[in-house]
Amino acid sequence: MNQEALKIFTIKKKVAPKMCMTVTDLDVWINDTHILNNLQISFPEKKITCIVGPSGSGKSTLIRSLNRINDEVPGFRTQGTVALNGNSIFEKSVDVADLRSRVGMVFQKPCVFPKSISENVLFGIQHQKKLDKYEKLQIVEENLKVVSLWKEVSHRLNDPASSLSIGQQQRLCIARTLALKPEVILLDEPTSSLDPVSARAIEDMMLTLKEQYTLIFVTHNIGQAKRIADHLIFICDGKVIEQGNASAVFSCPTNSQTRAYLTDEFCDC
């Protein structure tokens, strides 16, 4: 019996994924509003972690704290630690611009800059290092291929990015983030302003992206979380109610609130 247990333990230990980002005792306030309350979360490496929860539960605040984009919000205050590969991101010595190129972010509404398609792909990376013409072309082609936009736009790379459809613009935004070669990609409801076909295309793309990147994905669409999540976190009223392996949480949630939310999209917390 003991030997059996040891065997299971060692197997578990072997397959336990490496954690890329960890959140410890995280509290977040904006002015006097206590938005996140004592969070303990681990984000496994090269997996898709879905964060679900009702609106106003603090999902976006959490994901926006992971690359410190919330630093710009007046009255934003944190306590606790968020670590990327073991190093705290809230340390004074951290170069925030460098952190954000290692932890990329895709927003809810696609936002392309009033420039050409290829300039948009290069927008972040060309401010990090000097690129020659050949390298630029290579980066544009490589990243547009990853987001399956290359075939559609390869003949008009110099057209304004605003001429693309909303779904294409969102894929362009993802390509722009991928060009920076980040370790983690945060996606804040990236499909909620898209049509179902474009949304599915992005979901499929994420399943291939997770081979190379750690993806942290906020969604209010439970069906979507079911389709793509490896790891699931359910947040309600600023607290983590349940987290764990997605199929386990979906098939038998231990918490009654989680069960209510996953089946009826209703939460009484």
Partner 1 sequence: MPNENTKQQTVFMNRKNIDGVFKGTIWLAFAICAALLFFLFGVIIFKGVAAISFGFLLTAASNFGASGGVLYQIIGSILLVLTAALISFPIALGTAIFKSEYLKNDRWQKISNIFIYGLNGIPSIIFGIFGLIFFVNFLGTGVSWFVGSIILAMMILPTITLSAYQTINSIPSIFRENSLALGLNKWQVITKVLLPQGINGAITGLLIGLARAIGETAPIMFIATAFSGVEIPNSLLEPVASLPTHILALAQQATNPAALQNAWGASFVLILLVMLFSCSALIFRLRQKSKTT
- Give helix then strand counts, H and E, for the chain: 11, 10
Q: Whose Cβ is closer to partner 1: residue 5's or residue 97's?
A: 97
**Contact flag: residue 124 with partner 1 (CB under 8 A):** yes
User: Considering only residues 147-186, where is the footprint of partner 1 by CB under 8 A?
Assistant: 173, 176-177, 180
Residue reference for tokens 């294409």: 168
Question: Beta strands 48-52 and 214-218: pairing type?
Answer: parallel
> What phi, psi does 226 have (nearest 5°)?
-60, -40
Report, in Å, the least distance between residue 21 CB and partner 1: 16
Which residues, numbered 31-50, are part of the site for partner 1 (CB under 8 A)? none
Helical residues (DSSP H) of the chain, grouped into ranges: 2-15, 59-65, 96-102, 117-122, 133-146, 150-153, 166-178, 196-209, 222-228, 246-251, 256-264
Angle at 209 between CA 97 and CA 107, to 5 degrees: 50
CB-nearer residue toward partner 1: 74 or 86: 74
- Part in contact with partner 1 (CB under 8 A); list of ranges 64-72, 208-216, 227-235, 237-245: 64-72
Give yes or no for residue 197 binding partner 1 (CB under 8 A).
no
Pick one of 8, 111, 166, 248: the residue that binds partner 1 (CB under 8 A).
111
- Residues β-bridged to residue 130: none
Rule CB under 8 A: say whether 113 interacts with partner 1: yes
Q: Which of 13, 15, 114, 197 binds partner 1 (CB under 8 A)?
A: 114
Contacting positions for partner 1 (CB under 8 A):
67, 69, 72, 74, 96-98, 100-101, 104-105, 107, 109, 111, 113-114, 123-124, 127-128, 173, 176-177, 180
